[in-house]
Amino acid sequence: MNFFFDVFKNKSLLLSLAVQDFKQRYLGNYLGIVWAFASPFITVFILFFVFQIGFRSAPSEGIPFIIWLISGMFPWFFLSESISAGSSSIIDKPYLVKKIVFKVSTLPVIKLITALFIHSFFLLLLFLMLVGYGFYPKLIWIQILYYLFATLILVLGISWITSSIVVFMKDMGQIVGILLQFGFWLTPIFWSDKIMPQKYLPFLKLNPAYYIVQGYRDSVLYNVWFWENPILQSISGSLLFLF
């Protein structure tokens, strides 16, 4: 509770540092912050071109493939970017640690806010594409805020662990990158749990990202409320890393 109180107390400072971090990340590039949105957008476009046009992927459960894909891809982008950036949050801001009385535990929050800027843009893009494909806004869409909160708690917990280790072992940054690659393919982004052998599902569901990605799809595509799924998959996974 003290941590959340500190975040609320220093919200203006954290927001200011997040904006500064967002600008510095792309400082010196001709296109500036455009790269923050261009890279994920190009990735989705390439995947769409390969699977939709090249392999002519059929709609998943009657849902256009591109809509099904991005509704799982966008939350993963946010999750992976936040963890990757959060892992280096302490070594990226040594002046805050050494020269200023600053709560080190709040440093990953700066990276979270920065990633949230980009994620907000992609959520807007997702909603526009949904409407374009005939999926009109429903009350259940607001449920994304629940899964977004679960993602924030999960990422915060992981970042506390990894950012602390990186200070003493720089290799941790590379290890996180490798684990995120594994996590990408172990999360139902390109595959549906409907086609997965049932004997493997209990193990795959131990991955908290599984619940988050599926939760986004449940909210905008399948109209499934969060209480209709095992909530402990999200809460236990998030709290495990948080504490």
- Tell whether pTM > 0.85: no
pLDDT, tens digit, 9 for 90 and up, residues 86-125? 888 878 777 666 665 667 777 888 888 888 888 988 899 8
Asked if pLDDT for residue 81 goes beyond 50, the answer is yes
Least confident range of 55-59, 153-157, 168-172: 55-59
DSSP assignments along 6-41, one per residue: HHHHTHHHHHHHHHHHHHHHTTT-SSTTHHHHHHHH
pLDDT tens-digit series, residues 187-222: 888 888 777 788 888 888 888 888 899 999 999 998
| φ, ψ for residue 188, nearest 5 deg | -70, 70
The span from the CA of 132 to the CA of 76, in Å, is: 22
pLDDT category, 180, cuts 50, 70, 90? very high
Q: CA of 136: how far to CAs of 131, 142, 213, 231, in Å?
A: 5, 13, 20, 26
pLDDT (0 to 100) of residue 1: 60
Does 236 score more than 50 pLDDT?
Answer: no
Note the residue count of the chain: 243
- Decide if 208 contacts 154 (C-beta within 8 A): yes
